[in-house]
Amino acid sequence: MLFKMGHLAQSTDTRASQLEAAIPRMIERAIATALTPLKGSIDSLTMRVEVCDRGHGASNEVTTLKADIIGLRKDVDQLKSTIFTSLFGMVEIVDDPSADILACSNVSPATTIGDEVRDDVATVEFKAKTDEEHLGVREEAVYEDLLDLEGAMYETNRQASLRDTSMVGSSGAKDAETP
C-alpha cells in the first residue's frame, strides 16, 4: 500500500510539473491568436495610408493615421513581450502540518510500471444509461411477445373447446334421461 502511495505521489508531482510548464505556452498561444487579426488590420491600415499618402501628399489626416498606427503597433508589441507568468504573482502556501507531503519518495523510478488506465466517470454513467435503455427496450419487446403468446394460447384453447363441444353435440349421443 505504501508503495502505491509513493508511486501516486511521484506521478502527481510529475503531472503537476508538466502542467506548470504547459500553462504559460497555452496563454501565449491564446494571446498570439487574439492579436493576429489586430496585426492584420494594422497592416491593411498602413497600406491604405501609404496609398493615400502617395496620391494626395502628406496631410494632417494622413499624419494622424500614421501616428495612430504607430501607437497600435507599440501596444501590440508590448502585449506580445509581456511575461504573463509574472501577472499571476506569487501564491502563498499556508504552513499546515497536517498537509505535509514529502518532497521526494523512497520509490525508485525503475519500479514504476506506468499509469493505471481508469474509466471516465461520464463514460461509465453513459454506459449505465445506455444499458438501462437497452433493458427497457428488451423488456418492452418481451412484454409484447408475452401478450401475443397469451393471446395465441387463449385462441388455441377456445378453438379446442369449441371443437370438443361441437363433436359431442354432433355424435348424436343423448344424455340418459333421469326419471
Predicted local distance difference test score (pLDDT) of residue 103: 53
pLDDT at 116 over 70: no
106 and 6 Cβ atoms separated by less than 8 Å: yes
Query: pLDDT band at 113, cuts 50/70/90?
Result: low
Reported as a pLDDT band with limits 50, 70 and 90, residue 178 is very low
Express as a percent the part of the chain with pLDDT over 70. Answer: 59
The continuous run of DSSP H or E covering 143 comes out as helix 121-170
Contact in structure between 10 and 107 (CB atoms under 8 Å): yes
Terminal Cα distance for the chain, rounded: 97
Q: Is the pTM of this model over 0.75?
A: no
Q: What percent of the chain has pLDDT over 90?
A: 0
Q: What CA–CA distance (Å, rounded) separates 79 from 11? A: 35
